[in-house]
Structure 1
């Protein structure tokens, strides 16, 4: 039976981002490392508005490093780059707020954690970076002795005892140790001891998780300074907001004045929320990555030493709780100001309703007065018109009255009620027509 022939896929049927999204899954594989080796790592971040930085400057800075070592020039649109710089394997990645440089070299420096191991990143080149170092890590990977306790003297020499964390990772495939302190040369040190049969891929994943752990720990703790600044602002605004809320029951104080004070406080709270929203959101994401990297190491206790989870619980998580507390307090004060605004609007509406009711009562009294005045004027008009009408009729009928020997006074007396009645009926008819015409 002949093999089936499938028609080629039509590119027009593919979503324009499909291949790019799939390639992104494979764009940043973990390095494959063999012990012994050394990893040096930098994370560089612009101090302000790093998410909107000019990424072309990051690529230009990478290109300058590549040019020093004769490596291929990076693509200006690339978000990641790998190259061989002499004996170092370089990996560069661009992230939302920062860029990272990782260089891996076989072997160990002459002295443990010798600053010369970081010479792949020259000081003058770092000084010209479009940002500042937020993380600088040096990891030494060596073989684990047959007796794991033999590494304890080295750990005592390399790290501070009060903050040293040393653990088995990945089902006791390796030992990770570090004190999360910065040495005199500016590097944070980690030691990784692997069993001789540990595969390069597994070593690379452990190293990558340690680099991620330190990078995102540093990035997440940027929110701590922001949280402290925000707390100072909230400490100043909280009494003002409380005074405004308590003073809303004071009827002697105009609502307009209270509204101006409330608007001032609310505006500052909204401004603070806008300024800190991105940082607090990023902190939560970075914290989740940190805890994920710790969990992915699957650590167990090493010779009674402190575990990474214990170190994080005592040293790291309180800082994160401080940031979250400031964020929650800001949200609570925004809710209070919003409720105060609603109460103030209710108070203003009640006052306006009372004013409107009083105004309507005034209008009713004024309309009633106008109606009475109108009736008075109409009565006077009837009298005035009747007076002139009687006079005109008297002149008109006087010859007839003279012929009939009727006295003029009698004639006037007879004409007066007739004229008054006629004028009154005429006025009513005119008013009725005006009323019907208005409707």
Structure 2
């Protein structure tokens, strides 16, 4: 095959598909999980601070550092294994511990993260979880008994996953230590990577669920103001319909409402779109588990349908409501602007008619003034002509009065023609394009 130039990103894009390998876990073992999000609502994190925080933890255990610009990293920290991943909005730490410990879900397992290191985290905890992985008993009833002893029965979800290869259980409640609890019971002989995939999926389901709920809290925070804006918009549209208020005042109020709606849309756009993406990830992660009912308990899908999906529908409803209100405000503003423009056009038409009437009156007055001007100019012109003709009166034997009388018609005619010619020249010059 002849040589061909590769795209500069070819290998980078191909390696991205394999950038976050699943852990390999051998039962029995434990895992502690921590997800940290930036405190303020932002579209991205300070990646340099995240990496520096990871290195600070690695230095506690004398572990090698990741490559500069790394977004994922796996290494041994003491007797445990750390998996670190950096995402758009959050960064996650998962530590895998061998064995089951002295007691189930022991809060002391979380001591793998030093207290002062946690206090210096560049953000806040969005979720944390403790996962217990132990071999599945011969009878599912024994698994249910264990799950009941560890989890809150009321909200517990238990499922047989991956063609009955494992049973997973969780209650999505925060225990006294501040963590969620999940239990995984793989059958004997199930591959270590398969167990690791399920544990990874559980961590992802919990994290994406928590990130999705941020959108729900954001919508709930602005729900009251949205209702007030909706009522104000309805009042303005009613006033516009009945004509109870001046159009200019109503238009100003509509523009103010539209501006506030656009501000709300801009402030919530990222969070609402992120919520939609996280919800899709939760649904997809649950789907790949291929759940089956176990021991008559609700599955993870059923738990989400009952508790999680209504919150997501609320977010979608609020987003659609916000879009609808913005569209209504824009349409109302357009209609009112059209009404104002039509009214102004009518006023302009009346003004033009009034100006035409005044122009007609001015033209008539001008004609009257021109007539008076002809008389006045003719009077002075006849006087001047008379002075010129008086010396001829004795020569031709005609009185001065007769000469003046004979000079009046041609002088008046000449003055009238002169003024007419001047007016025609002025009007012609006024109609020429500039």
When normalised by structure 1's length, the TM-score is 0.94
* Alignment equivalent of 1:98, drawn from 90, 93, 116: 90
* Superposed CA offset, 1:15-73 (max 9, x none): 22222111111110111111111111110111204434322211111111111111112
* Superposed CA offset, 1:86-132 (max 9, x none): 22111000000100001112211111111122221223321221111
* Alignment equivalent of 1:325, drawn from 305, 317, 320: 317
CA distance in 2, matches of 1:382, 1:121: 110
Pairs within 5 Å for 1:198-237? 198-237=190-229
Pairs within 5 Å for 1:123-134? 123-134=115-126
What is the DSSP-based 3-state SS (H/G/I as helix, E as strand, rest coil) of the residue aligned with 1:133? strand
Pairs within 5 Å for 1:332-347? 332-347=324-339
* Alignment equivalent of 1:122, drawn from 114, 117, 141: 114
Q: Which residue of 2 aligns with 1:254?
A: 246
CA distance in 2, matches of 1:426, 1:27: 99
Describe the shift of the 1:252–1:236 C-alpha distance in structure 2 as closer, same or farther (beyond 3 A). closer
Q: Is the 8 A contact 1:41 1:101 kept in 2?
A: yes
CA distance in 1, matches of 2:138, 2:41: 50
Q: Which residue of 2 aligns with 1:147?
A: 139
CA distance in 1, matches of 2:369, 2:168: 107
Q: Which residue of 1 aligns with 2:429?
A: 437
CA distance in 2, matches of 1:429, 1:256: 51
Q: Is the 8 A contact 1:230 1:326 kept in 2?
A: no
Q: Which residue of 1 aligns with 2:368?
A: 376
In structure 2, stretches of 5+ residues that fail to align are none
Q: Which residue of 1 aligns with 2:175?
A: 183
* Superposed CA offset, 1:246-266 (max 9, x none): 222465633332232222222
Q: Which residue of 2 aligns with 1:264?
A: 256
When normalised by structure 2's length, the TM-score is 0.95
Q: Are 1:352 and 2:344 counterparts?
A: yes
What is the DSSP-based 3-state SS (H/G/I as helix, E as strand, rest coil) of the residue aligned with 2:167? strand
Q: Which residue of 2 aligns with 1:60?
A: 52
Q: Is the 8 A contact 1:94 1:100 kept in 2?
A: yes
Q: Which residue of 2 aligns with 1:161?
A: 153
Q: Which residue of 1 aligns with 2:415?
A: 423
State the shift of 1:343 in Å.
1.3
* Count of residue correspondences: 431
CA distance in 1, matches of 2:22, 2:117: 26
Q: Are 1:397 and 2:389 counterparts?
A: yes
State the shift of 1:189 in Å.
0.7
CA distance in 1, matches of 2:140, 2:387: 143
Q: Is the 8 A contact 1:50 1:98 kept in 2?
A: no
* Superposed CA offset, 1:302-332 (max 9, x none): 1211111111111000111111111111111
What is the DSSP-based 3-state SS (H/G/I as helix, E as strand, rest coil) of the residue aligned with 2:163? coil
Q: Are 1:289 and 2:281 counterparts?
A: yes
Q: Is the 8 A contact 2:33 2:92 kept in 1?
A: yes
In structure 1, stretches of 5+ residues that fail to align are 1-5
Q: Is the 8 A contact 1:194 1:203 kept in 2?
A: yes
Q: Is the 8 A contact 1:241 1:337 kept in 2?
A: yes
What is the DSSP-based 3-state SS (H/G/I as helix, E as strand, rest coil) of the residue aligned with 2:35? strand
Q: Which residue of 2 aligns with 1:42?
A: 34
Q: Is the 8 A contact 1:56 1:76 kept in 2?
A: no
* Superposed CA offset, 1:114-153 (max 9, x none): 1122221223321221111111111111111222212222
Q: Are 1:242 and 2:234 counterparts?
A: yes
